[in-house]
Each structure stands twice: as structure tokens, then as C-alpha cells.
Amino acid sequence: MVGDLAEKTSVRAVLEIRKAGESEIRVMTKSSTVDLVTKTDERVEKIIIGSLIKEFGEGTHCFIGEESVAKGEPCILTDKPTWIIDPVDGTTNFVHGFPFVAVSIAFAVKKQLEFGVVYSCLEDKMYKARRGKGAFCNDEPIQVSDVKDINKSIIISEHGTDRSPEKVKKIFSTMQKILCIPVHGLRGSGTAATNMCLVATGAVEAFFEIGIHCWDIAAGAVIVQEAGGILLDVDGGPFDLMSRRMVSANNDVIAKRIIKEIEIFPAARDDATPEKK
Ligand SMILES: O=P([O-])([O-])O[C@@H]1[C@@H](O)[C@H](O)[C@@H](O)[C@H](O)[C@@H]1O
Ligand SMILES: [Mg+2]
């Protein structure tokens, strides 16, 4: 099945990441000095796309890969069968040896996410979900938390790579307001895909971020929904994969309570025309 292929491909990708982790990692930067990319990100993405093309043939499927887009490939989700790939989610963690790095592979048809696979490499946890068929971690079913009381929740968010003072101020003002609700704790693994899997397993109640990309969250979105969770825009509207912002939560009560505290700032859509990015 297509899902099994994505799983096998992600395991192959992990072998590459592990091999790289044992050798000198050559670090480069993208949108800013803190937006890192390595030769491993690029190589792993090529391996994943290459194996999918080998399986399905040239030109039958589309690909949205983090590093291909960084090199100028379009980031437009069409009705065609499309793979949405983050070869190394948590690149900064990977460079520093901080123990949360994931491969994230999602598959969409007619703009509908059909399944997602997230492999948390250092935890050796394979999360996967097909639309309508439930969510699993290492083949065991997973379920979001049943907590409805925000005072008994752990919330995850990330500060991202934009260091402009006005955005950083809004990010930390939001985190301060949420912490002082109060909640039990604020966390961040450094990888959106892993954060969403933590929502899906019930380890935390919600993850939100403004500034993430479709490849960071596409697979996690299927996994959270199939684990019984919900996805919304940060303004409470419907989830929009290409909008670069989202709230994923165990239920509507927690999601809406978090949304009340989020100070929204603009982030150019993934599918925006180049002049609007
Ligand atoms: O770049 P990458 O490691 O694939 O993805 C990361 C995301 O997973 C994370 O949520 C975000 O806060 C980081 O800035 C970075 O974008
Ligand atoms: Mg990445």
C-alpha cells in the first residue's frame, strides 16, 4: 500500500540521517542565520522523492518538499496526488544533537490529506495515520488526551526562525499569557511534526504555531485528527494547510481557550506568489 511505501521510505531516510549524524554535518542557512539546512536534509529529500518516483513513475505524482521549495520549486497544492515532505524536521536540533528529529511524509489527493507518517528518529517511534482508519505509534493505537480543564494542560509552541523584534514580542507575550492562565506547563520539542504527535498520544493537550510550513504539519495533521483531535486556524476559523499557522488540540474547549490568548502576526502563505513572500 502507498502508506507502507511511505513508511519504508521514511525508515530508509532515517538510516541516512543516522549515518550523517555520525559524520561531520555541513550546516548552511536559508531565510535567516538561524534557519538552518544541511546536506543531509537535501540528500534525504532526494532519496524520498527518488524512491516514490521509482514506485509510481515520473510525472504521475507531485511533490512539495521543504528543500526543493527552498531551491525554487513551486509550493502549490493542486488536485493531483501530492507528497508533502519534510526530510529532517528539527534541523536545528539535528545540528546541535538535541534529541528530537523527525522525518515527515504526507500524501494528499484533490487537496485532501489521505495519510501521514512521522518517524521520530531518536525515539524510534513510527507514527502513522490514514484518513478514517485511526492513528498509531509503532502499530499501537493512539488517542488524544481527554482533559478539558485548561488549568490541567500542557501546551506546546515554538518560537520559529523569525527573529524580528515585533514578532518575537508577540510570540513571547502569547506564551506568557498562556503560562499564566495558568497551565501545568509550556513545552517545545523543536519539531512541529513531533509536537503534533505528542498531541495525538495525549502527552500534551495542544500545539500551536505561526510561521510553520505545510511540510512541517501535513503528516501530523492526519495523525492528530485520526487520534480524535482537532485542527483550527489561530483565529478560530477552519484549518488551512498552506496558511503557515494552526492550532492542533485534543478538543474544541482547549483549542478555543488557547486561541483567545494568541497574538496573531502575519506570515506569508506557503502558496503565496513569490512577490508576496
Ligand atoms: O526547519 P525544520 O526543522 O524542518 O522545521 C522546524 C519546525 O518543525 C518548527 O516547528 C519551527 O519552529 C522551526 O522553526 C522549524 O521550522
Ligand atoms: Mg525540515
Helical axes 39-56 vs 2-22, angle rounded to 10°: 150
- Read off the pLDDT of residues 26-60 as tens digits, 9 standing for 90 and up: 777 788 888 887 888 888 999 999 989 988 888 88
Is 89 annotated to bind a ligand? Reply is: yes
Asked if 8 and 107 sit in the same domain, the reply is yes
- Which residues of the chain, if any, have pLDDT below 70? 1-2, 20-25, 276-277
List the alpha helices (DSSP H) in the chain: 2-22, 39-56, 66-70, 91-96, 165-179, 192-200, 214-226, 252-259
Residue 41 Cα to ligand 1 midpoint, Å, equals 12
Nearest residue (by CA) to ligand 1, atom 5, is: 89
Of 94, 111, 141, the residue at which a domain comes to its end is: 141
Same domain, 128 and 24: yes
pLDDT at site 21: 64
Residue nearest to ligand 1 atom 13, measured at CA? 160
| Model ipTM value | 0.97
Instruction: Taking the CA atoms of 48, 49, 50 and 55 in sequence, report the sign of the dihedral they define.
Output: positive
Co-location of 115 and 42 in the same domain: yes
Same domain? For 97 and 12 the reply is yes
- Domain assignment present for residue 274? The answer is no
- Name the pTM for this structure: 0.94
The answer to the question of whether 146 is labelled as a binding residue is no
| Number of domains the chain contains | 2
216 is in an annotated binding site: yes
Does the beta carbon of 65 sit less than 6 angstroms from any atom of ligand 1? no
Q: 192 alpha carbon to ligand 1 midpoint, in Å?
A: 6
Q: How far apart are CA 270 and CA 277, in angstroms?
A: 8
* Statement to judge: residues 118 and 157 lie in one domain: no
Same domain, 58 and 110: yes
Residues 27 and 129 in one domain: yes
Q: How many helices (H) and strands (E) does the chain have?
A: 8, 14
Could you list the residue range(s) of the whole structural domain that residue 172 is in? 150-259
Can you tell me which atom of ligand 1 is nearest the CA of 216? 8
What's the confidence (pLDDT) of residue 27? 75
Q: Ligand 1: distance of its center to the CA of 57 in Å?
A: 30
